Amino acid sequence: MNLRVSLFGNLHVEYACHSIKLPNACKALELFSYIFLHADYRHHREKLANLLWSDVSTDLSKGYLRKALWQLQTAFDASTCSHETPIILAEAEWVFVNPELDLWLDVKVFEDSFTLLQDILGVELSNTDAETLQNAVELHRGELMEGLFEEWCLRERERFHLLYLSMLEKLTDYCEAHGDYEAGILYGSRILQHDEARESAHRALMRLYYLSGHRVEALRQYNRCSAILKKELDVQPSKPTLLLYEQIKAEQFEQPVHHLAGNPPKQTDPVPLLLSELSDQLCLMQATLSNLQGLIEDHREA
């Protein structure tokens, strides 16, 4: 049976197309989230207990861990989803997700998509690459593990937040390179919803507005960027941002030419190159003939 776990936004779990009602206990939910966030790993009981209950003794933390595991197992049993294939395996020393499960995990799909394309620039994405990123960013329905504020959770939340912004930037650049300016504006705006002081996103929106025929809106975007940077960081826009503003203001901005993925640069016409090579060969042959003629004449005179 297929188990679907969504850790973005509100925690949601489905088994065989039926929702599982998890226990209304904060630590049990935290335990579940941590184990599935690291679903490929086996977790040592003592380390797991010390991580989640760091403010109590080792003996107490182990007891709390046993209770949280029992709460989760009770919820799984109530949903009649773990009788044949247990979801979480709890051994004497280890706790881990059952590797025999057919597991779909939103954070894994999300992170795998980023890893697959992290070394490819947005302008170099193929249509298939872009679709992979588009599907990935739609999984980000909210902050990772909303409602949890433990230190380990906050670190992971920030990490996934940065991955999300990076993927949105790639999609923004992809849309600009392919002339899909409206979609690019939507992606750029989503970046600023999460980080309004991200200057590169402001520049992208300035370009996209201008290229889509909205010069005034592009100039307004610069003003918004300037005001936000002043308010949050007490700095002025950088030189690249100011230069772009001046170019748009003077209507002198020209979009860089990108060689899109799947569309290699135009090849040089081979005919001139071939003629040049033939000319060189003829010159060489003429020089050789001239030398031979000189040798023949020298031989006759001798």
Write down which residue in 105, 128, 160 finishes a domain.
105
Tell me if 55 is assigned to some domain: yes
Tell me if 222 is assigned to some domain: yes
Q: Are strands 102-105 and 2-6 parallel, antiparallel or unpaired?
A: parallel
What is the CATH number for 177? 1.25.40.10
Instruction: Tell me the average pLDDT across 267-291.
Output: 45
Write down which residue in 208, 227, 249 finishes a domain.
249
Write down which residue in 52, 74, 105 finishes a domain.
105
217 plus 144 within the same structural domain:
yes
* Other residues' Cβ atoms within 10 Å of the Cβ of residue 296: 10
152 plus 230 within the same structural domain:
yes
End-to-end CA distance of the chain: 100
| Main-chain phi, psi angles of 103, to 5 degrees | -100, 130
Q: What pLDDT score does 18 carry? A: 87
62 plus 130 within the same structural domain:
no
147 plus 231 within the same structural domain:
yes
Q: How many CA atoms lie within 13 A of 111 on its CB side?
A: 16
Tell me if 270 is assigned to some domain: no
Tell me if 242 is assigned to some domain: yes
Q: Among 214, 219, 241, which Cα is nearest to 229's?
A: 241
Are residues 285 and 242 in contact, defined by beta-carbon separation less than 8 angstroms? no
What is the per-residue pLDDT across 146-192, written as a single tens digit (0 to 9) for each?
Answer: 999 999 999 999 999 999 999 999 999 999 999 999 999 999 999 99
29 plus 56 within the same structural domain:
yes
Range of the domain at 25: 2-105
| Main-chain phi, psi angles of 136, to 5 degrees | -65, -45
132 plus 235 within the same structural domain:
yes
Q: What pLDDT score does 256 carry? A: 75
Distance CA 65, CA 222 (A): 53
38 plus 141 within the same structural domain:
no
More confident residue, 114 or 17: 114
Tell me if 208 is assigned to some domain: yes
148 plus 96 within the same structural domain:
no
pTM: 0.82
Of 55-64, 253-262, 278-287, the range with the highest mean pLDDT is: 55-64
Per the structure block, which two tokens stand in for 265?
């640069």
Q: Among 64, 53, 62, which Cα is nearest to 72's?
A: 64
Alpha helices in 79-126 (DSSP H): 106-117
Q: How many domains does the chain have?
A: 2
64 plus 118 within the same structural domain:
no
Q: What pLDDT score does 297 carry? A: 57
225 plus 121 within the same structural domain:
yes
